[in-house]
């Protein structure tokens, strides 16, 4: 049994260790470039190295494991950092704002993607990634709609690049529009930026108090991850894009999304030691960074550049839609 396990692990080591090394370098670089963050640096560094020095076939199994499994584990651990009670601190207006934003972003990103010629699954991943929580959402959505690894990698790259641009621009827009008003600035950043890291980094450019309240809006978006995954899976099944197998019916929610919801409920109704939330956040962040490094290493940038103008237009269109919708809803709801 030990020999069998060893034989299964050995082929994974080269690619996994390379992904880990890239993640460590990205984390260290983030200390010097906190505006970008470890996650964004990991995928960018992975793309550079994967398209220059590290194209060896021996790396494939390990990078694939790091990309798929670790991103799933990251989604599970997010549940320990989320509570339903958090919503109450934003009020009904804050919850309504998030629901409106998610509806507009999902609908808009999907329709824009289809208009630009992207297939159904890529448009859905782009919609979910921007509406919920970036690469973690895409990592949950992709298997449920049976998206290809290459498609997932391209959309994750696009979402992270878009998030980086918005992370560096929205804080200054929020100050210009809302001045010293805390909640509107927090709503703009927490309701639009793609990943948790980008929300923290972007809000940090304003002040520490904005970080706290921006995270309330962000956490609320994450809570709806299960609903988004379930809805998207049903849609592709209805459209005939996923084969319906006979026999025993598979539970519609992927195991890791189910675990995310379970841990979220436990964390909401039971007082867990800080070790759980702090430890889960730490491990989840590392898993996500390693997974993003692996995605970068596996992404053939030549193919991405081949479709560059279309991808760029897609990202800019969705980012513009998010920003305009958020500002409009903040004023209309008097947040």
Among 35-39, 47-51, 137-141, 242-246, the minimum mean pLDDT is found in 242-246
At residue 71 the predicted structure's pLDDT band, cuts being 50, 70 and 90, is confident
Look at residue 44 in the predicted model and tell me its pLDDT.
82
Each residue of 168-182: b (16+ CB within 10 Å) or e? eebbebbbeebeeee
Distance in angstroms (rounded) separating the CA atoms of residues 199 and 194: 7
Q: Provide the 10 A C-beta neighbour count for residue 125.
A: 29
pTM: 0.69
Looking at residue 333, what is its pLDDT? 93
The pLDDT, as a whole number, for residue 7 is: 67
**What tens digit of pLDDT does each residue of 191-202 get?**
999 887 778 777
Percent of the chain past pLDDT 90, that is, above it, reads 27
Q: What is the pLDDT of residues 284-317, one digit of tens each?
A: 778 878 887 887 787 766 665 665 788 889 999 9
What pLDDT does residue 4 have?
A: 60
Predicted confidence (pLDDT) per residue in 47-65, tens digit: 889 888 888 888 888 888 8
Average pLDDT, the chain: 83
Lowest mean pLDDT among 91-100, 172-181, 237-246, 288-297: 237-246
Confidence tier at 247 by pLDDT (50, 70, 90): very low
Mean pLDDT, residues 250-275 taken together:
73
Q: Which two tokens stand for residue 177?
A: 């529009």
Q: What is the reported pLDDT for 133? A: 84
* Residue, of 108 and 2, whose pLDDT is higher: 108
**pLDDT, position 113:** 95
DSSP line for 91-147 = HHHHHHHHHHHHHHHHHHHHHHHHHTT--HHHHHHHHHHHHTTHHHHHHHHHHHTT-
Q: What is the pLDDT of residue 119?
A: 92
The reported pLDDT for the residue numbered 313 is 92
User: What was the pLDDT predicted at 234?
Assistant: 87
Q: In this predicted model, what pLDDT tens digit does every residue of 98-126 receive, in sequence order?
A: 999 999 999 999 999 999 999 999 999 99
**192 by DSSP, 3-state: which?**
coil
Domain boundaries, the chain: 22-241+250-333
Per the model's pLDDT, the better-predicted residue between 27 and 81 turns out to be 27
């Amino acid at each position: 049994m030990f020999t069998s396990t060893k034989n299964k692990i050995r082929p994974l080591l080269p690619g996994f260790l390379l992904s880990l090394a890239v993640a460590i370098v990205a984390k260290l670089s983030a200390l010097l470039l906190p505006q970008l963050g470890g996650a964004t640096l990991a995928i960018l560094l992975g793309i550079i190295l994967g398209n220059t020095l590290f194209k060896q076939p021996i790396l494939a199994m390990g990078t694939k494991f790091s990309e798929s499994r670790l991103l799933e584990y990251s989604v599970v651990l997010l549940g320990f950092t989320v509570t339903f009670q958090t919503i109450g601190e934003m009020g009904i207006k804050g919850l309504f704002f998030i629901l409106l934003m998610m509806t507009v972003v999902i609908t808009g990103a999907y329709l824009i993607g289809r208009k630009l010629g992207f297939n159904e699954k890529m448009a859905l991943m782009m919609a979910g990634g921007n509406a919920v929580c970036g690469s973690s959402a895409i990592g949950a959505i992709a298997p449920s709609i049976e998206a290809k690894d290459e498609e997932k990698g391209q959309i994750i790259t696009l979402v992270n690049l878009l998030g980086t641009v918005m992370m560096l621009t929205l804080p200054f827009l929020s100050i210009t529009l809302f001045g010293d008003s805390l909640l509107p600035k927090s709503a703009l950043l927490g309701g639009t930026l793609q990943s948790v890291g980008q929300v923290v980094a972007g809000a940090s450019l304003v002040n520490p108090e904005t970080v706290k309240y921006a995270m309330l809006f962000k956490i609320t978006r994450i809570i709806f991850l299960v609903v988004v995954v379930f809805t998207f899976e049903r849609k592709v099944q209805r459209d005939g894009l996923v084969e319906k197998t006979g026999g025993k019916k598979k539970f519609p929610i992927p195991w890791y999304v189910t675990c995310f919801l379970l841990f979220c409920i436990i964390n909401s109704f039971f007082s867990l030691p800080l070790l759980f939330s702090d430890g889960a956040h730490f491990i989840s962040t590392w898993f996500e960074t390693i997974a993003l490094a692996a995605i970068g290493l596996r992404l053939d940038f030549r193919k991405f550049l081949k479709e560059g103008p279309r991808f760029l237009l897609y990202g800019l269109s969705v980012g513009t839609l998010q920003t305009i919708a958020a500002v409009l809803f903040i004023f209309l709801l008097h947040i």
